[in-house]
Amino acid sequence: MSIFNDNLKRLKDLQKIENISDEEIQILLEPKQVNYTELDINNKKYPAWRIIYNQALGPGKGGIRFHPEVNEDEIRSLSLWMMLKNSLADIPYGGAKGGVKFNPKKADLSELEEVSRKYIGAFYKYLGQDKDIPAPDVYTNSQIMSWMLDEFEKRVGQCEPGMITGKPIELGGIKLRSDATAQGGYLVTKEMVSKFLENKKDLTVAIQGFGNAGHFIAQKLFEDGFKITAVSDSKGGIYKKEGFDILKLIEFKQNGNSVNDYSFGQKVNNAEFLELPVDILILAALENQITENNANKIQASYILELANGPINYKADKILDSKQKIIIPDILINSGGVIASYFEWAQNRTGQILDEDYLRNLLDKKMKTNWQRVYNKYEERGGEITLRQAAYAIAINKILTAEKLRGHIKK
C-alpha cells in the first residue's frame, strides 16, 4: 500500500472540487528535492532520506524520524503533509521530512549519537535556517537535535541555532515546544465538541498512542470531565467502560511500564481497540491505522488525527459515507510546528519572548485555523469533508504563491 499514492488521490479529488487546473495541480504532485544516502555505522548500512516537497512559502520544515520501517514512500507523504500543514497554519514554511531506517530502541547512546551526526554529515549542505529546518519526530528527541545542531555548526563553521528546532532550552529551544502538539490538539478538540456536540458532557474517549502527545491530551480532557475509557501504546491497550483515573495511569506509564500491564481494565489488541464503542477516537500513533479493512467496524462518531496519516484514502470514503466526522491531521496536530516557528523566529532575531505570550499566541492561531476550516466546511453545506476544507485552504495559498513567483501562468 502506497501512502503517497493515497495522498495524490486526495489531491486529485480536490482538483475537481476547487476547479484547479492541470498545470496548477501538477506542481504539487512531486517533491522538489529527494535526497537519499546510506549511513555506514558499525559495518551496517542504514538508509536515510531528507525530502523537500515545496518551498513556495518559505524554507523546508519538517521532522526527522528514526524507525525500523521508514521508507521513501512514507517520507514523501510526510513531507507533503508538512507542506499542507505549514500552509494551513499560516506560517512561512514549505514542507520537508527526513528519516533513517533504524531502530533506536536497540541502539546504545553512542550509536544513537553516531547515527544523528552522520545524518547531518550526509545532508548538511541542504539544511540551514533559510533552506530547510528539521525537528524531532518519531523516536527522536531534544538530545538528538542537540547532536545534530552541533554537527551542523562544526560542518559550516558558525553558530546557527535556527537550523533546527525542538532543541533543549539551553541551546535555544523553548519550553512550549514539548507539549505544543498536544496542546493544539486539545484546543481543536474543545472547538469541535463545541460546534458538533454543543459541549455535551460525559463524552467517552479512546486514545491510541500514549506517548507525549497522547498522555498530555488525555490528562487535559480528563481534567475537563471527559471519560477516558481506553488507552493504548505500542504493546497493547486497555479498556474500562467506567473510565480510568488518567493521572494514575500516566504515573504508571512514566515509571517505565506499558499501559497493557495496568491492573485495572480489560486488555485489548490494536484491532479491538480501534473498534471500541466510544464517542471520540483520538489517533496518536502511526500511519494507516484505519483502512478499508476495518473502517466499517469503527464505532466512534468523531475521529481526531493527532498522528500523521492514520486514515487511508479508501477508509476516508467509507467513514464519510457513514457520516463520521474526521478532524484532519494537518489541522489538529499543527501545534508542534507552530511552536517550532516561534523557536526558529527567536533564534533568528535573538529576541526572547515570554512563554505566556507564546502560549496565548499558539492558542489563538489554533482556534483561528480551526474556524477557517470550519467556515469553509459550512460554506459548502457539508458537501465536502473537514479534510477537504483544510486541504483547499492550504493548497490555494501555495498555488497563489507559485503564481506570484511566476511558476504558474496566470
pLDDT of 384: 95
pLDDT of 394: 97
Given a contact cutoff of 8 angstroms between Cβ atoms, the answer to whether 74 and 287 are in contact is yes
pLDDT of 198: 86
Grid cell 472540487 in the structure block, residue: 17
SS3 292: coil
| Mean of pLDDT over the chain | 94
pLDDT of 203: 94
List, for residues 294-324, the tens digit of each pLDDT value: 999 999 999 999 999 999 999 999 999 999 9
Does the pLDDT of residue 381 top 90, yes or no?
Answer: no
Mean pLDDT of 226-232: 95
Mean pLDDT of 367-374: 97
Mean pLDDT of 149-172: 97
Does the pLDDT of residue 382 top 80, yes or no?
Answer: no
Does the pLDDT of residue 36 top 70, yes or no?
Answer: yes
Does residue 97 carry a catalytic annotation? Answer: yes
pLDDT of 410: 67
List, for residues 78-92, the tens digit of each pLDDT value: 999 999 999 999 999
List, for residues 278-290, the tens digit of each pLDDT value: 999 999 998 899 9
Query: How many other β-carbons are positioned within 10 Å of the β-carbon of residue 41?
Result: 16
- The closest alpha carbon to 396, from 126, 87, 82, 45, belongs to 87
- The residue with greater pLDDT, 163 or 351, is 163
Domains along the chain with CATH numbers: 30-172 (3.40.50.10860), 174-410 (3.40.50.720)
Region of residue 291 (phi > 0: left; psi between -120 and 50: alpha; otherwise: beta):
beta
Whole-angstrom Cα distance, residue 343 to residue 257? 32
Mean pLDDT of 3-14: 92
In this structure, of 16-25, 50-59, 251-260, the range with the lowest mean pLDDT score is: 251-260
Given a contact cutoff of 8 angstroms between Cβ atoms, the answer to whether 231 and 214 are in contact is yes
Strand order in the sheet with 236-239: 266-268, 236-239, 227-233, 204-208, 280-283, 302-305, 325-327
Whole-angstrom Cα distance, residue 135 to residue 372? 26
List, for residues 90-138, the tens digit of each pLDDT value: 999 999 999 999 999 999 999 999 999 999 999 999 999 999 999 999 8
Whole-angstrom Cα distance, residue 196 to residue 176? 29
Mean pLDDT of 247-262: 89
pLDDT of 1: 64
List, for residues 135-151, the tens digit of each pLDDT value: 999 899 999 999 999 99
- The residue with greater pLDDT, 19 or 286, is 19
Q: Which of 97, 227, 253, 324 is catalytic?
A: 97
pLDDT of 259: 87
Whole-angstrom Cα distance, residue 217 to residue 306? 10
Does the pLDDT of residue 3 top 90, yes or no?
Answer: no
Query: How many other β-carbons are positioned within 10 Å of the β-carbon of residue 49?
Result: 25
Pairing between β-strand 236-239 and β-strand 227-233 as defined by DSSP bridges: antiparallel
Query: How many other β-carbons are positioned within 10 Å of the β-carbon of residue 32?
Result: 17
pLDDT-derived band of residue 264, with 50, 70 and 90 as boundaries?
confident
What DSSP letter does each residue of 165-223 carry, written as one string? -S--GGGT--GGGGGHHHHHHHHHHHHHHHHHSTT-SS-EEEEE--SHHHHHHHHHHHH
pLDDT of 317: 96
Does the pLDDT of residue 51 top 70, yes or no?
Answer: yes
